[in-house]
Amino acid sequence: MNEIYVARPSLPSVEEYAALLDGIWSRRILTNRGPLLQQFEAEVAETLGVPHVSVVANATLGLIVALMEIGAKEVITTPFSFVATANSIRLAGAKPVFADIDPVSLSLDPAEVERKITPETGAILAVHAYGLPCDIDGFEALSQRTGIPVIYDAAHAFAVRRDGRSILNAGRMSVLSFHATKVFHSAEGGAIVCQDAETKRRIDTICNHGISDETTTDVVGMNAKMSELHAAMGLLQLRNLPAEIAARDRVVRRYAHGLAGVPGIRPICPTGDPEHNNYAYPIFVDPEYPLSRDALYAALRQRGIIARRYFHPLITDLGAFRDLPQTQVERFPVAQSASERVLCLPLYGDLSQDDQNRVIDAIAELGRKG
Ligand code: T4K
């Protein structure tokens, strides 16, 4: 029996990729803002409907660069995320301060953030978890009132819109992931979205070791550049994006239909919403379901279905973060509850109907037997 993974990257044909590799071989420009990278950056901006994009080697570096650009010393963020969110704060030399999340969006709650603001707070790093938009209006108001900039970790939010506009235009900057497991990928990669050319210039400088010309390095930077080989993959994947999102939409509808009658199984993301990107299929395993979330996770694994508990444990319970003064004394009840109940089911465009039926039938059967 084949294993069914939570994510599976879509791929262009080897021939299409080889055709772009031919150009790279003949030019011998492999990195440092080559022609494919520049074309990729322009096409990403156009696809997303955002003014400025800086493509980077991955979202973790993108987050670090965004935080370096702001120069924050203390950053308020969520404990309910992939560890990269909090790692980036520490790697940028800042102190993470955690606040609880909203029970519906599963993203940072602006009211909880406000309670954590101190004179040292330099930025808010909010995550659009599973591509569900944060309370953008709440953060906009908070940012205007306090002058504290908001950065969005939009690793999951490629192509997500609200009222017809990209949510990536909110806040000071948004950071995307183009990792292989995402809706849109370039194997490894990411991007920083910003609203003005001057900010983009500074971001690009930080991404290139802080070098602004051959003899000038006025800021400390790093290497966050994407290679031409990754840009080639990204360019081809952009062409595949509408088909991938449409295929995921069909998978999501089948889950919604197949799991509708299973008591205690509750989908978290919308079904059939053209503004959502169907990045993941997280469900809540509620008390009416006879198995706990962890028991369901283990039972599915025994059947070769590798669902994932994103995000468990909370970042604040991970060894790298639980010894901070704040996390030793404070709990985050809403985030804790979400972390104990969420399970992400396999979702990708070419998930076969047979494989998806295996997932649905297993959850339904375990729900009957307990
Ligand atoms: N912020 C947020 C909110 C994030 O979720 C992430 C990353 C980041 C920031 C940082 O973005 P990057 O710096 O990575 O660009 C995966 C991804 O590696 C990670 O990118 C992602 N979030 C996170 C939620 O999931 P793992 O350790 O769970 O991945 P892994 O290797 O277990 O892959 C999951 C499944 O996908 C595997 O069981 C099989 C399948 N798979 C995976 C890869 C890599 C494939 O079929 N092919 C592949 O190439 O972190």
Q: Which long-range contacts (CB under 8 A, 24 or more apart) does 355-359 make?
A: 355/2, 355/4, 356/251, 356/254, 356/255, 356/258, 357/258, 358/4, 358/303, 358/304, 358/305, 359/4, 359/255, 359/300, 359/305, 359/307
Q: What is the pLDDT of residue 62?
A: 98
Q: What domains sit in the chain, N to C, each tagged with a CATH number?
A: 7-236 (3.40.640.10), 240-369 (3.90.1150.10)
Over residues 31-40, the pLDDT tens digits come to 999 999 999 9
Specify the pTM. Answer: 0.97
Spans of the chain, pLDDT less than 70:
370
Residue nearest to atom 17 of ligand 1 (CA): 181
Q: What is the pLDDT of residue 1?
A: 80
Å from CA of 219 to ligand 1 middle: 31
85 lines ligand 1 (CB under 6 A): yes
Q: Which atom of ligand 1 is nearest to the CA of 6?
A: 35
Å from CA of 75 to ligand 1 middle: 24
51 lines ligand 1 (CB under 6 A): no
60 lines ligand 1 (CB under 6 A): yes
CA-closest candidate to residue 242, choices 291, 167, 183: 183
